[in-house]
Amino acid sequence: MKPNLLKEFLFFLCGMRRLYRVHGSSMHPLLRDGDIVLIKTKKRKLSLTPGDIVICEHPYKRKKIIKQISYIEQSNGRIYLKGLNELESEDSSLFGALKSKHVLGLVTVIV
């Protein structure tokens, strides 16, 4: 097992990471429908940067989405998200920027 994967697995066993199953193809080719990722939840403040993959609450629908952060407004902390598969993605190009409260976790590893 790779050192980072081992560390993340130990964090999972200690309750510091959660499993999430990817639904849909909006993050293809990085993530495919059915892939499993480990996420660091907001028990502690997350340090987010553009390029990070995050799990968020959709702002208008009752579902979770997984997207890449494209930009963070420093003045108010609003986050712009993008899917890697533009033809299949509901992201900030449709619903605008999200408040940081919509972010549920940061993807740390693809299992």
Triad 23, 8, 47: Cα angle to 5°: 80
* pLDDT at site 89: 93
Q: pLDDT of the chain along its 111 residues, tens only? A: 456 888 898 999 999 999 999 999 999 999 999 999 999 997 767 889 999 999 999 999 999 999 999 999 999 989 999 999 999 999 999 999 999 889 999 999 998
Burial of 41 (0-12, 13-18, 19+ CB in 10 A): middle
Write the CA distances from 110 to 18, 31, 66, 87, integer angstroms: 12, 8, 12, 23
